[in-house]
A and B are shown apart, each in its own frame.
Chain A
């Protein structure tokens, strides 16, 4: 196991290297920061000065080597647009994304799991078919359109909830948080709901199929035939058995949401890291994009590694050699 982990970390280091190279070269091909940042009245000399100040006057391989050298000393560079360290930019926007994604996840789990268990236990009930159909509909609406419709219905027509921004924040651990104020929560509700729809659908389906599988296992059939009350079955046996895959997939999903809730954040002007990524791609802010991609690749690699290790611990048949 130890050698597996070591080898995997080695592979991941190579992966990170390739990722940084791809994004670095990719952004270079996408747009020229000097063309984007320079004013229309800039003289050729000032354009050159700008390129020099950003280190873009050197050939690409040298730019990349300089970047690598800096990263190894923990310096991810400065944003071309904000003139500030990119890590500061990313970490000061992280709380906004974290709290929104967590609220979405809480909503998703709180609605999805009970709904899934109920559906799984009552397969023939007409409401189960309705739930199943509703989750399919929820899956089928593109996220961005859903967001626009949410704004139309809840902000424009009903005027219940604000459509943009974070609302009041309260400082905690050196960052501002919206979830501690009523106003902040009101602002968070629509974007979180936008993310939560897909989570509810996924959790419901996952829990339902898990429930169905477990309930048809021999030991459950046996227990049922012995007259053990249903609530006890659910509590003692069902939950324990279906929770492992649900927790695993929820963890993976959490990672994906933190990294890529770009569309939701953009539509609702939620100042999180997803919006930062999208803005930076469109503004040719290469240092931000590269640092962002490296950080989230690290996150995904870590999650995958943990999942693989957990699997090995839980399922003795799996051996990593």
Chain B
């Protein structure tokens, strides 16, 4: 046998060997995915499961995915070039019509129920398939954050759902093709679970368990796992136990204390990445007072920026991050992670208990005041512990804090009814700074998509001007500058108190390498064999 023959045999042997190394990846989520339908749900686990199967035009980190190029042709028209040679898992080619179809389906309320992007894609007036691989988005007014929103539009196949003619987009999502939309049950049964993603749905159970297999025709890097099993374990201890006992290869969101437990065992390791989520306290700064906040002299303490700064300066953020999170969080100096692209440079927020006391006295509250602090008890990692630490700091400042911890649903309802004067909230978005302050602190403006969650009643002319200019600025550099202005203003006025940025952590087998995304979704694609 000659040398090339031997080589050929070796190659043959190595390609034959890979199926022998067939391996199943078992991942445990912290809550159960609700459905495979990619449109009605925004929770991290449902979205994570969906992203194995479906892809978006733009990736989380602004890298091209199904789109290769996108730019504003005019302030109200954006052109998106689509990737060539991409096929859906049923073998049909991906093209412009699929994007229009997906936009229609997103805007179509199933049984009248809005979808994840129904509100944020409202300004889109028309979506046109220019040619097979070019799509034009036309908006009613300048809408620069369109591409940020498109990070959440998972692409379905028009043809697989029986649409073979051109689609005329309308804002209501009817588009003349409403009859062809797959139902939620079709996604869950796998019938409509046809996407361009690296994995195929093999099985989805009503309890949220899912099994995935590789999509053989995937356009990108081949799936590394022959099978992926997704389970969900809500109880923290049980999830860690499952990892240590070998039931799972990767688990998400171990508690801060459990990271050391996993690290202690040579067979296991943890990986983390700074996350998108900012935890902050929202203050109702209305001049006529806030619910649950009372001072002896009848004044509205939170309306005075000095009081808000005093509250902020009384908090030792480094101690919270170090002692309560064992370093798995970053002290905040603004309302969105300082390490994200486009985040303005800001100085750290000072901790100075004495200066805080002085400031409070200056504002006329030397004797302190009473304040209710509301905190959901089943939502944020360590949320209630941090809240108690805040109660310590503020009590030492002279503020009598009464802590209300309640289930998320009760908390949200009271927040919606305007009953909360001071409350803890967490918000994460790939767009970072702009998304948060435009939603949480801008005045309500449905057309510009501003102030949808403004609970602080903050209204500052300079801040408003910057935010409103940003909302229509399609030049990225100029938009970043406007956000820097707005952020600096918001931190100066402090209608809320930034606390820290959560890190995303995964526990896994030591022979695996995990490179997670900042959005904290647990994906098979981020797990590699070492």
Given known A-B contacts A50-B113, A163-B238, A282 and B35 have beta carbons under 8 A apart: no
Which residues from chain A contact B322 at a C-beta distance below 8 Å? none
Per-residue contact bits, chain A 19-48, to B (CB 8 Å; 1 contact, 0 not)? 000000000001110111011111111100
Which residues from chain A contact B444 at a C-beta distance below 8 Å? 44
Which residues from chain A contact B242 at a C-beta distance below 8 Å? 155, 162-165
Q: Is A212 in the interface zone, CB < 8 Å from B?
A: no
**Which residues of A from 122 to 159 have beta carbons under 8 Å from B?**
148, 151-152, 155-156, 159
Task: Please state if B113 and A165 are interface contacts (CB–CB under 8 Å).
Answer: no
Task: Please state if A163 and B409 are interface contacts (CB–CB under 8 Å).
Answer: no
Task: Please state if A35 and B245 are interface contacts (CB–CB under 8 Å).
Answer: no
Task: Specify which of B240, B245, B409 is in contact with A30 (CB 8 Å cutoff).
Answer: B409
Which residues from chain B contact A282 at a C-beta distance below 8 Å? 378, 407-409
Per-residue contact bits, chain A 61-104, to B (CB 8 Å; 1 contact, 0 not)? 00000000000000000100111100001001100100000000
Smallest Cβ distance from B263 to chain A, in angstroms?
15
Given known A-B contacts A93-B207, A282-B407, A156 and B241 have beta carbons under 8 A apart: yes
- Complex CA gap A49/B108 in Å reads 12
Given known A-B contacts A31-B409, A83-B40, A269-B232, A151 and B114 have beta carbons under 8 A apart: no
**Which residues of B from 399 to 415 have beta carbons under 8 Å from A?**
407-410, 412-413, 415
Task: Please state if A31 and B241 are interface contacts (CB–CB under 8 Å).
Answer: no
The count of residues in chain A whose C-beta lies closer than 8 Å to any C-beta of chain B is 49
Q: Is B326 in the interface zone, CB < 8 Å from A?
A: no
Q: Contact size class for B?
A: 35 or more
Task: Please state if A39 and B247 are interface contacts (CB–CB under 8 Å).
Answer: no
**Chain B residue, CB-CB nearest to A96:** B207
Task: Please state if A82 and B245 are interface contacts (CB–CB under 8 Å).
Answer: no
Task: Please state if A32 and B245 are interface contacts (CB–CB under 8 Å).
Answer: no
Task: Please state if A156 and B439 are interface contacts (CB–CB under 8 Å).
Answer: no
Which residues from chain A contact B235 at a C-beta distance below 8 Å? 151, 164, 266-269
Q: Is A283 in the interface zone, CB < 8 Å from B?
A: yes
Task: Specify which of A43, A45, A163, A269 is in contact with B245 (CB 8 Å cutoff).
Answer: A163
Which residues from chain B contact A35 at a C-beta distance below 8 Å? 409, 412-413, 415-416
- Complex CA gap A52/B111 in Å reads 10
Which of B94-102, B118-126, B302-310 faces chain A? Answer: B118-126
Given known A-B contacts A39-B116, A40-B453, A43-B446, A31 and B413 have beta carbons under 8 A apart: yes
**Chain A residue, CB-CB nearest to B235:** A267
Q: Is A271 in the interface zone, CB < 8 Å from B?
A: yes
Task: Please state if A284 and B110 are interface contacts (CB–CB under 8 Å).
Answer: no
Which residues from chain A contact B240 at a C-beta distance below 8 Å? 156
Task: Please state if A40 and B452 are interface contacts (CB–CB under 8 Å).
Answer: yes
Which residues from chain B contact A156 at a C-beta distance below 8 Å? 237, 240-241, 244-245
Q: Is B239 in the interface zone, CB < 8 Å from A?
A: yes
Task: Please state if B244 and A159 are interface contacts (CB–CB under 8 Å).
Answer: yes
Q: Is B175 in the interface zone, CB < 8 Å from A?
A: no
Task: Specify which of B110, B238, B409, B449 is in contact with A83 (CB 8 Å cutoff).
Answer: B110
Q: Is A3 in the interface zone, CB < 8 Å from B?
A: no
Which residues from chain A contact B232 at a C-beta distance below 8 Å? 269
**Which residues of B from 192 to 212 have beta carbons under 8 Å from A?**
205-209
Tell me the number of A-to-B contacts counted with CB atoms below 8 Å: 150
**Chain A residue, CB-CB nearest to B247:** A162
Task: Please state if B112 and A53 are interface contacts (CB–CB under 8 Å).
Answer: yes
Task: Specify which of B122, B208, B238 is in contact with A151 (CB 8 Å cutoff).
Answer: B238
Q: Is A54 in the interface zone, CB < 8 Å from B?
A: yes
Task: Please state if B409 and A284 are interface contacts (CB–CB under 8 Å).
Answer: yes
**Which residues of B from 374 to 415 have beta carbons under 8 Å from A?**
378, 407-410, 412-413, 415
Smallest Cβ distance from B131 to chain A, in angstroms?
32
Q: Is B488 in the interface zone, CB < 8 Å from A?
A: no
Q: Is B515 in the interface zone, CB < 8 Å from A?
A: no
Task: Please state if A36 and B446 are interface contacts (CB–CB under 8 Å).
Answer: no
Task: Please state if B206 and A43 are interface contacts (CB–CB under 8 Å).
Answer: no
**Chain B residue, CB-CB nearest to A167:** B247
Which residues from chain A contact B416 at a C-beta distance below 8 Å? 32, 34-35
Q: Is B140 in the interface zone, CB < 8 Å from A?
A: no
Q: Is B180 in the interface zone, CB < 8 Å from A?
A: no
* 24 A-B pairs whose Cβ atoms sit less than 8 Å apart in the complex: A31-B410, A32-B413, A40-B427, A40-B452, A41-B439, A41-B449, A42-B452, A53-B109, A53-B112, A81-B34, A82-B35, A83-B40, A83-B113, A151-B235, A156-B244, A159-B246, A163-B242, A266-B235, A267-B235, A269-B233, A271-B208, A282-B407, A282-B408, A284-B409
Residues of chain A touching chain B, judged by Cβ–Cβ distance below 8 Å, are 30-32, 34-36, 38-46, 49-50, 52-54, 78, 81-84, 89, 92-93, 96, 148, 151-152, 155-156, 159, 162-166, 176, 266-269, 271, 282-284
Residues of chain B touching chain A, judged by Cβ–Cβ distance below 8 Å, are 28, 32, 34-35, 40, 42, 109-114, 116, 118-120, 122, 184-185, 205-209, 231-235, 237-242, 244-247, 378, 407-410, 412-413, 415-417, 427, 439, 444, 446, 449, 452-453
Closest 10 CB pairs of A and B: A53-B112, A271-B207, A35-B416, A155-B241, A31-B409, A163-B241, A164-B233, A163-B238, A164-B238, A53-B113
